[in-house]
Structure 1
Amino acid sequence: MTYALICASHNDEILNANLARSPMITEGRVPLHLQRGATSAAVAYNRAIDTTDADILIFAHHDVYLPRGWEDLLTRRLREVAAHDPNWALYGPFGVGLDASHIGPVWSSSIGLIVGRVPTTPAEVQSYDEMVIVMRRSAGLRFDEALPGWHMYGTDIVTTARTCGLHAYAGALPTIHNDRYHDHLRDDFVQCYTAMRHKWRDHLPLRTPIIKISKSGLHLYKNRWQDYRSEKFRANMSVGINHAPEYLASICGWSDLTASA
């Protein structure tokens, strides 16, 4: 299997402090393909699909760090999922299972926790956190450029795959998400929520890592109210983004995943 690591970045400072420090990049084992100036995640990622030829496409946020040995562990996980289901199309380190459970493990700086249960076998999911999405090129999927902005494309691409008879999985692939704290859902998120609610109205409800997309749309207001009430508590949980990602990997016990691979 050949890999291409793809990132749509608008901030070199964040990129160079996180994703670009991943050993697979600094040591030249996996090429990094940057997309600049796209109007949406879908546009950026479809450009990358068209301009790369790797078997496996890894779409990653610029505030993600992939510890040493991550790509070798990914190879093992993809072999496991292929043995389990030859019809797999997508894989990720964090997703929402069909039973609505969170599948991980992933470190999140915004909440200061390792999140997600660790499955012993590949777990089928209905959505991903967009921080990392792995796609099998031969599945023939593309991102929907009619979907606005930079949110919920992880739920959209999984739902697209499932309607085509393909499957998406998550599993034990430890990853550092050095993300900043967000106090509430902003207007661009609401726009994406509304677009998804209309596009997939015959498939609702769908659960994303952040919110339930429901036919009524009332969960959007419920989440906004919960965010308001819990703002101080969540802010206190955040560890900020000033820690080196190598340090975060070390305190999680993930400095070197080679042994796991």
Structure 2
Amino acid sequence: MTAPTIAFVCASNNPQILNDNLMRSPAIASGAYPLEVVENAPSAAQAYNTGLDRSAADVVVFLHHDVYLPLGWDALLRQRIAEVEATDPNWALLGAFGIAMDTRGYGPVWSSSINFIAGLMPLSPVPVQSFDELLIVMRRGAGLRFDEALTGWHMYGTDIVCQARAKGLGAFSVALPLIHNDGYKETLDGNFEAAFRHMALKWRNLLPIKTPVVKITTDARDLYKWRWNLWRSRKARRALAAPDARDPRDYARACGWMDLRPSLDSYAADRVNDRNTS
């Protein structure tokens, strides 16, 4: 089977954040993969659909400009794609952080906004009901597009999973360790509530839907509860957050993720040993 071609798409409104984080990723800095940077788009959906149209790759990785991909991450992605295709050749989406059907979060990803590694370690692909938008992998053949009725920068990771589910296509969280150098956020902009209500109406037959931020319901009580908890915890969250101006490679080094290639070699050897002893 021919290895899939891979391209990257990023929406960015800040060249410094882009250069300090994503552009330092070895897979991107090497120029080995096409990268479409869509600047100053009015919404994530419009940016990503633009990037999708500009690319012809079999697999498209949509990611934030404040993400750092450690050395060997691209080879790890190819391995995860092969693992998913072994059981579900009709898969549509993979994500670095997702919420499983039982509402548990699967990563692992490190975030400067919370200053720890988030998510359980999936030992095999885990079906999800939503993704964090920091990184989403799409198989072009699935025929999905982002919903441009979501006019801001929220909920599109949940919406694209719901689209896949509605078409009977697989969406999975897989282990793709990375650094999200997102920094402390006091709150989210006003478009968040609009996105919540859009999703509650559009996918009412799937409710409730647990996202990485809030549970989507018809009456929005969880939205107001989340807002209250966000406001009440702001001082503690501000104190906890790590500085996002720091080189993301420092955080990758602290996580033990500076070079993911040895883990790939170890994984391959373990699989050979498993076959030899079975």
What band does the TM-score fall into relative to the shorter chain? over 0.9
Q: Does 1:8 align with 2:27?
A: no
Choose 34-43 or 163-172, whichever is displaced more: 34-43
Paired residue for 1:117?
120
Amino acid at match of 2:195: C
Question: TM-score, normalising length from structure 1?
Answer: 0.98
CA shift, 1:186, in A, is 2.7
Q: Does 1:171 align with 2:174?
A: yes
Alpha-carbon distance in structure 2 between the residues aligned to 1:90 and 1:118: 18
Paired residue for 2:260?
257
CA RMSD in angstroms, aligned pairs only: 0.9
Alpha-carbon distance in structure 1 between the residues aligned to 2:40 and 2:255: 34
Choose 7-16 or 41-50, whichever is displaced more: 41-50
Amino acid at match of 1:240: P
Alpha-carbon distance in structure 1 between the residues aligned to 2:263 and 2:219: 44
Q: Does 1:94 align with 2:105?
A: no
CA shift, 1:119, in A, is 1.2
CA shift, 1:55, in A, is 0.6
Question: TM-score, normalising length from structure 2?
Answer: 0.92
The SS at the match of 1:234 is helix
Q: Which runs of 5+ in 1 are unaligned?
A: none
Paired residue for 2:155?
152
Paired residue for 1:225?
228
Task: Count the aligned residue pairs.
Answer: 261
The answer to whether the 8 Å contact 1:197/1:213 transfers is yes
Alpha-carbon distance in structure 2 between the residues aligned to 1:228 and 1:104: 26
Alignment of 1:239-250 (within 5 A): 239-250=242-253
Q: Which runs of 5+ in 2 are unaligned?
A: 265-278
Q: Does 1:43 align with 2:46?
A: yes
- Which of 1 and 2 has greater Rg? 2
The answer to whether the 8 Å contact 1:18/1:62 transfers is yes
CA shift, 1:37, in A, is 3.1
CA shift, 1:41, in A, is 0.9
Choose 47-56 or 127-136, whichever is displaced more: 47-56
Q: Once the two structures are superposed, what CA deviation does each residue of 1:15-68 show, in whole Å capped at 9, x if it has no partner?
A: 000001100111121121111232211111111111110011000100000000
Alpha-carbon distance in structure 1 between the residues aligned to 2:201 and 2:89: 31
The answer to whether the 8 Å contact 1:5/1:58 transfers is yes
The answer to whether the 8 Å contact 1:185/1:224 transfers is no
CA shift, 1:113, in A, is 0.5
The answer to whether the 8 Å contact 1:73/1:260 transfers is no
The answer to whether the 8 Å contact 1:143/1:153 transfers is yes
Q: Does 1:234 align with 2:222?
A: no
The SS at the match of 2:187 is coil
Amino acid at match of 1:51: R
Alpha-carbon distance in structure 2 between the residues aligned to 1:90 and 1:177: 20
Paired residue for 2:55?
52
Alpha-carbon distance in structure 2 between the residues aligned to 1:19 and 1:194: 32
